[in-house]
Amino acid sequence: MHYDIHGQTAPDATTILLSSGLGGSGAYWTPQIPALSEQFRVITYDHRGCGRTGGDVPEDGGIAAMADDVFAIVDELKIERMHFMGHALGGLIGLDMALRRPQLIEKLVLINAWSKADPHSGRCFDTRLSLLENSGVEAFVKAQPLFLYPAWWMSDNAERMAHDDAHGLAHFQGRENVTRRIAALRAFDVDDRLAEITTETLVIATRDDLLVPYTRSLRLAEGLANATLSVTDSGAHAVNIVYPESFNRTLLDFLNDQSGA
């Protein structure tokens, strides 16, 4: 597993580990790293089958196998307690970890995540897989931003979109890995176990998310034993990239709040 460590280096520095979504790249968190690095030791990583980690996603491992990869990083670094933030698929990894090793995670942040996949998300996954199988990798990569960002933001960031398309094509994780990762998203279901998770959790959602209905976050906040809900009207699926300043303020307010300790 390839991981990077940013920010504080003091032995007593609090650690926060960041896990991205379907794309699986640690670079997804670039807008958050400077703000977090002022206070925390920040760990980002490339998921198995993605980026600098590479390799193959296990056929039947699902989200639990992805969580095992994070546990491997945590154990290698001898981390006993940390914060965890996950976006979409990364949030599912965080839920699995909180169920299996509740003593590890002090605070949990879930961004446009879910306890059980929504049928609408299934429709989006079907569309993306159909593009991959019938139209090829380029069509799949070019369609990806449509599920992540608002139209106005893509228009204002056309140069970045072109760069991301080129990077996505050059570093495509492979049809089989994408298919297995989407299968893991579909199969994940901890809806009836949410109350078992007592970790203090911030649930972040956006009403204009095309991929994941914000009602899935409402369900998380309702079902988790110790959750705070933050819902915004805009920002789409990748709200931490679209509105990094306000997102970072909300995040740091939660991480630094001692009232729930």
Calculate helix-pair angle for 175-187, 62-76, nearest 10 degrees.
Answer: 100
CATH number of 3-256: 3.40.50.1820
Calculate helix-pair angle for 62-76, 89-100, nearest 10 degrees.
Answer: 70
Task: Return the structure tokens found at 33.
Answer: 């790293």
CA distance linking residue 179 with residue 176, whole number of Å: 5
pLDDT digits (tens), the chain, 261 positions: 999 999 998 888 999 999 999 999 999 999 999 999 999 999 999 999 988 998 899 888 899 999 999 999 999 999 999 999 999 999 999 999 999 999 999 999 999 999 999 999 999 999 999 999 999 999 999 999 999 999 999 999 999 999 999 999 998 989 999 999 999 999 999 999 999 999 999 999 999 999 999 999 999 999 999 999 999 999 999 999 999 999 999 999 999 997 654
With beta carbons less than 8 A apart as the criterion, state whether 46 and 15 touch.
no
Tell me the domain boundaries of the chain. Answer: 3-256
Instruction: Give the full edge-to-edge strand order of the sheet including 3-7.
Output: 3-7, 41-45, 15-19, 82-87, 105-111, 200-206, 227-232
CA distance linking residue 107 with residue 254, whole number of Å: 9
The pLDDT of residue 261 is 44
The pLDDT of residue 225 is 96
With beta carbons less than 8 A apart as the criterion, state whether 28 and 96 touch.
no
CA distance linking residue 213 with residue 221, whole number of Å: 14
The pLDDT of residue 10 is 87
